[in-house]
Amino acid sequence: MSGLQLADITKRFGAVTAVDGISLNVDDGTFVCLLGPSGCGKTTLLRMIAGLEDPTSGDIRLQGDRINDTPAHKRNLGMVFQSLALFPHLTIGENIAYPLRIRGANRADCEARVRELLDMVQLPGIENRTITQLSGGQRQRVAIARALAVSPQLFLLDEPLSALDAKLREAMQVELRQLQQRLGITTIVVTHDQREAMSMSDQIVVMSNGKVEQMASPIEAYKRPASPFVADFLGQANLIKVTKADGGAAFSGGLIPGLDIPYSGQVLISVRPEDVVVAEGEDGPVKADIVFIREMGSTIEIHLNAGSDRVIALAPPKSHCDLHVGTSVSLTLPPEACVVFGPEGAH
Ligand code: ATP
């Protein structure tokens, strides 16, 4: 069921349209990431869901009820900001109990709930310490515990992990996802990190210029991007201009046999580097020259010139020991791995 519905939401700040007619449904219990480059409107959208900004137009509904005019503190949601906004003069226990206190909970109930929440975020027994005695990752968990103290219907997080170093961030991604799955709480996270979005969410909403480019599962968005923007933003993509030709699609480097182009004129296709096949010899439909190779640990990345196009291929290590910069090879772009973009998106 769609617990949260956004219907044609627009937000303008003077001449700037931060969010431009966004409609989307978030099913109960799902983990959704709002993903996109800086300035695309992610935070503004999250703040409108939270009640911290008013939409210029459009409706926000929670379980069918329009909540545009419901103040933030009555929306039954928990929120974690990038800054965490923990109170340094309060103990950890007091920080976590704060939202319960302002709702009038008594001391014993608060203490019991704080213990429960600290267990849940795997920090048992630290309620009497101060915030300054915690590491970055521990503070993150305290902020999460505080946001979940009132058992919210919606859990909203704005770049919650961006201040952490890479290793800790990955560990926290797993923890956050496990916690969300355990609690079954509808969660919306703003991030500009596509790996983070892909690895945590049930659904990702890829945004650009205040609009939704695509809402889909991570694998769907990766495999079948709805636009060149999505293809390029999620991981690496070879974006190549092609035209319909006899037996396939033609590009500057040769032919992609079997790829049907349902349009006349030039269109863009996208093919992921791991789908590009590099073979020794020059017998294939596309000849290419290697211009750069780098070892990436679990893969090797091969940059090739094919006609006037630059193509990147990823291959397993050791699979291509004989390839060097300057070697001429043959390339295959499997038609089933190519996404064709028409005037209005992917086909
Ligand atoms: P980032 O990843 O950098 O935080 P974002 O995708 O979250 O970016 P928003 O913060 O939502 O983007 O901003 C979207 C646009 O709206 C930007 O052009 C921004 O400058 C503008 N904007 C946001 N808040 C305000 C405001 N209070 N007043 C004026 N313009 C604003």
Examine the domain organization and report whether 208 and 337 are in the same domain. no
Nearest atom in ligand 1 to the alpha carbon of residue 207 is 6
All residue ranges of the chain with pLDDT < 70 are 1-2, 319-321, 343-347
Examine the domain organization and report whether 142 and 276 are in the same domain. no
Report the CATH number that the domain containing residue 191 is assigned in CATH.
3.40.50.300
What kind and span of H or E run contains 67? none
Q: What is the pLDDT of residue 344?
A: 58
Report the CATH number that the domain containing residue 298 is assigned in CATH.
2.40.50.100
Residue 327 lies in a domain: yes
Phi-psi region of 8 (alpha: psi -120 to 50; beta: other; left: phi over 0): left
Last residue of a domain, one of 179, 208, 232: 232
Residue 25 lies in a domain: yes
Examine the domain organization and report whether 280 and 137 are in the same domain. no
Last residue of a domain, one of 202, 232, 262: 232
Protein residue with its CA nearest to atom 27 in ligand 1: 13
Residue 156 lies in a domain: yes
Residue 347 lies in a domain: no
Examine the domain organization and report whether 103 and 132 are in the same domain. yes
What kind and span of H or E run contains 343? none
The answer to whether 208 and 194 are in contact (CB under 8 A) is no
Q: What is the pLDDT of residue 346?
A: 47
The total number of residues written for the chain in this structure: 347
Examine the domain organization and report whether 98 and 222 are in the same domain. yes
Work out how many domains the chain is built from and give that number.
2
The pair of structure tokens assigned to 53 is: 């900004």
Q: What is the pLDDT of residue 249?
A: 96
pTM (2 d.p.): 0.89
The answer to whether 292 and 325 are in contact (CB under 8 A) is yes
Q: What is the pLDDT of residue 82?
A: 77
- Residues near ligand 1 with C-beta < 6 Å? 13, 16, 18, 36, 38-44, 192
For residue 164, give its domain range: 4-232
Examine the domain organization and report whether 131 and 277 are in the same domain. no
Examine the domain organization and report whether 159 and 241 are in the same domain. no
Nearest atom in ligand 1 to the alpha carbon of residue 34 is 6
